[in-house]
Amino acid sequence: MDIVTTKKELQDKINAWKSEGRVIGFVPTMGALHEGHLSLVKTAGEQSDVVVVSIFVNPTQFNNPDDLKTYPRDLDKDVEMLEKYNVELIFAPTVKEMYPDEDKRQFDFGNLDKVMEGKFRPGHFNGVAQVVSKLFDYVKPDKAFFGEKDFQQLAIIRKLVRDLNMSVEVVGCPIVREPDGLAMSSRNQLLTPEMRKNAPVIAKTLSESLNFAPGKTVKETVDFVVKTINDTGNLEAEYFEIVDGDTLQAVNNWDDSDYIVGCIAVFAGKVRLIDNVTYK
């Protein structure tokens, strides 16, 4: 496993593999790796000849400077974890390497980025699109692997690939959870012991809503989830929206769509956690 920090080193490797006709699988990360990331790496290894992992905390997708400052970083630990997997290359660039000049590109995702995360984190998805488009251009992967925990991000990236006519297959991978149900996230390590104890209520409540929803309206289901979470100590739902899984637009009735997903963001103290559940 090699570690490179520059585009030139990366592209020299990529060009050699491309010349051999090898299928390149790519897992972009911001580091602070956990089992969720490693499940993506494992899937990439099963579906590709070569696995490339990027580790880069992208500043343009943080609308909160404090969030960027406190985001966990431990490259040595990340490398150690990846050594157990069939990863050929780690790309760990500096901010200057990724952004030698200010990236002023603005992306139009229609209504996909106007709701949920996009509503509460203005500019976030434009920053995601900036870095992912750069990484796709540098790595030129045949397949790229993303977790379904970031449900809205996955929809945005799929639209990005369509809009830019990129020849990469975007593969969504299931949410990986802790034994108590909490969706794995790099932010989990920022939780205090008390917050960590309460955080599994998020997944538990989403699961309970699957049994609550039959015979209830969409609004009643939303109210149930929000109230249950807010009644738990130190948890506060920022939003819970039940949406069409393709358009991400809110549904008013269960028969409005054949693909319905509930997406949530919750503050556990100052730590913001997201999760989702599929109703149908």
- Annotated active-site positions, please? 37
- Beta-ladder partners of 170: 144
Enumerate helices (H) and strands (E) in the chain, giving the number of each. Answer: 11, 9
Give the β-pairing of 260-268 and 235-244: antiparallel
Residue type, 253: N
Whole-number Å distance between alpha carbons of 51 and 87 = 5
For residue 208, give the nearest of 235, 226, 196 by alpha carbon.
Answer: 226
User: Which residues, at least 6 apart from 1, have a Cβ–Cβ distance to it below 8 Å?
Assistant: 79, 82, 83, 87, 88, 89, 90
User: Which residues, at least 6 apart from 162, have a Cβ–Cβ distance to it below 8 Å?
Assistant: none
Q: Which residues of 242-269 are buried (b: 16+ CB within 10 A; e: fewer)?
A: bbebeebeebeebeebeebbbbbbbebe
